Structure 1
C-alpha cells in the first residue's frame, strides 16, 4: 500500500515536460552531422562551457567548467562559439510541434516546455502516454534533436520524470506509482528546492523526495514557506502550478549581454556590440509595449570586472535611434583605451506601459514622430525577415567582423535553411548620420 499514499486517481491531470538533450550541441550536430558522436562544447566565446555533448559529459566535462580545464580533460575537444540565433530557431520549431497536440504549451526555457494534455485522449485518439510518445517522435524525426519526456499529474512530477532517463527517455509517473519514483531521488534534485532548503530539510532528517512528500501537512506548513508547501503538494499529485501558455508580458527590467572572444579594446567594435545589445533590448520592450525611463551601459573586462554607467531619459523611449547618442556618451565615460573587454551589456529600467510622447522644448515633434513610424516599419520587416535584418549603421562592424569569435561568422550566417536566400542574411543597415 505504500505506493498508493498519494493519488488514487491515475490521471486527474496529465502534464508533459519535454527537455532537450544537450540542446545547443545537438543543434550543432544537426547542422554539421560530421560532429555527431564527438566530444564537443559550446561557449567558446565565454571562456567557460555553456553546453557539453554527451561524449564530452562522459569524460567529466560539464556546464560551467573553464575552457582550459575542459581542454586538459579532453585535448581533442571541439570548441564552438554559441550561436543563439540558430538555437532559438530550433527552439521555436520544437514548441510549434508541441502545439499540434495541445494549445496549452508553456515555454519554460529555450530547450524545455510544459504541455497540458488533459482531456486530449479522445481528440487525438490515443492514451496520454501515446500522445507523449507521438510528441517525442515528431521532434526527433523532424528536427533531428533528442529529447527526454516526463508525463505525470503535476509540473513538478513531470519534471522529475524527464530527468529520470536521460538522454532520450520517456518516463510515465501515474498516480499509483509516484512513491516508486521519489524513493531514491535526493530532495535537492526536486525542481524548486534550492541549496538552503535542502540543507534545512537535511537537518530535520529529510533527505529524499519521498521522505519530503510523506511529511505531515501540519509539519510542512509550520516549517516551510509557501513555495515549499506548494512543491510538497505537487509531489503528492495535487496540481498547484498551472501550465501558462500566455507569453510573459510584465518585466521589472530588460537586460541584454554579449560575451565574445578574444577580448578586445577595439573602440568601434565594442560600441557595435553595445548598440546591438540596445537594439535587442528595445525590440523586446516594443514587443510588449514598454519603454524605459532609465538605461544602464555595462562593460566587462578580461578579468571579469564590471564597470557601468546609468542615465535617466528625458522621456520613456524604446527607439534605439533616439537612444544611441546617450549610449555613446555612457560608453565614452566607461571605455579605457588600454583595457581589454570581453562582454558588453545594456539594461533597461523603470519600464512603463505609458509611452505617450511628451516633447521637451528642445525636441522636434515631427522628427520624433517620423522615428516612431520608422520603427513600426522596422518591426514589421523584422517579423518577416528576422531580428536585426535592419539595424543601426554603428552596429554594422558585427556584420563585418563576426558575432561569435571575431572574424568568424556564426553557423547561422553560413547556413541556409529551406526557403531562405543569401539576401535574407545580409541585412540592410540604417545609417545614423549627424
Structure 2
C-alpha cells in the first residue's frame, strides 16, 4: 500500500491542465462495443480505473492500440462473449465500478450482457435497479446469481418503448441509451440524466449513426438503427479535477491558472465556490484563481440564513465535489452546511479533518456544518488513510495547507481518479513525495 508524504504550508504557483474526464471515459470506452469499426478516442486520462477498463476490453477481445499519450484506437470486431462467463471476468469486473457500463452495449449489439457486482468507492449504497429496469422494459430477461453476485440480461431482440426513470442516474441513462440505439423502434426516456458527459456520449453515438433527439434535456427520444459506424471522439476535461484545483488554490492562498477548462460545461461549479467567497475569474477558456491573502467569506442567503451547499442532478452541483467544498470551507470566514444527498457514507472522512483541527459538526450521515477558521489558525499535520477517491484528494488538499508533515496512506484510491497527481503538484511547487 503506497503513501504520500506532504510538507504543508507552502504557497503554490503556475498553471495546471486538467486531465480528461474520468466519468466520461467510463461511458465512452464501453460504447466502442457498439460497432465492429474502429473508434479513436483522445484525451483519455491515464488513471487506474480507466486503465482497468481498457484492460477489460482487451480481455473481451477488443483490439486496443495506443496511438500516443491519452489516445487509443479500439476495434470490437472479434468480441469473445464466452469471456463474460469466465472466472477471470468475474474477478476483474468486480474490481471496477465502471464495469456496469459494459452491459448496455453488449445487450444492444449481441443480445446478452453479464456483470459481477461492481466494486469502487465505499461511499454508501449505489444501486443498479435503474439500469436493469430499463433493460427489462426494452425486452430483456433479467437473472441474478445470489451466490456469486452475478447479474445478467438476455434478449432475442430489444424493442423501443417509453420509460420514466425512477432516478436521473447518469450511468443508468447512459447504459439504457447504449442498448436502445440498436433496438427496434422508438425509445423515449423521461427523467434522463443530462450531464455534459452523457451529452458527450450521445453526440458520439450520433456521429456513429444513432438517431437521438433531446440531447442536453431530461427527455430523450431514440430511433433505433440496425448498426453503427466508427468515429473519433475527444473527451472533455475533468470537471471534478478542475474543482479540486480551485479548492487547492484557495486553501493554500495560491495564485493558480487552470487551463482549458471548457467553461460552458462546468455548470454550477464556479458559482458554488463563489458562494464560499472564492474569486473564480474566467480568462478565455482558463480559470485564474488569485491568491486569497485576505481570506474568503461565505455568503449568506438573502434572508440572512446560513448558506447550504447541496448536490443535485445536472444542472445542479455534482456530488463528487462536495468533499472538496467541505474542506475548502474549513478556512472560510463564516459557516456553511454541506448537504450530501446522494451517498450516506461520503462525509464520514470528516473525523480526520477534525483531528487536524477543523471545526466540523457531523449532523447526520448526509449533513455536516463547517465553522470556518478564517486562516486564524492552521490545520495540524497528521497521518491518515484515504477512504475513497474524492475524500482522498480532499485530505491531500488539507495536508498541503496544514502546518507540518502529513502522511496519507492507501493512495491507490487517489490514483484511481487522478493522473500522476504528485508529479503535477510538484510542478506548481507542492512538497509531496510518493512512497512505495
Using structure 1 for the length normalisation, give the TM-score. 0.32
The structure whose residues are more often strand, as a share, is 2
The structure whose residues are more often helix, as a share, is 1
Higher Cα Rg, which structure: 1
Using structure 2 for the length normalisation, give the TM-score. 0.32
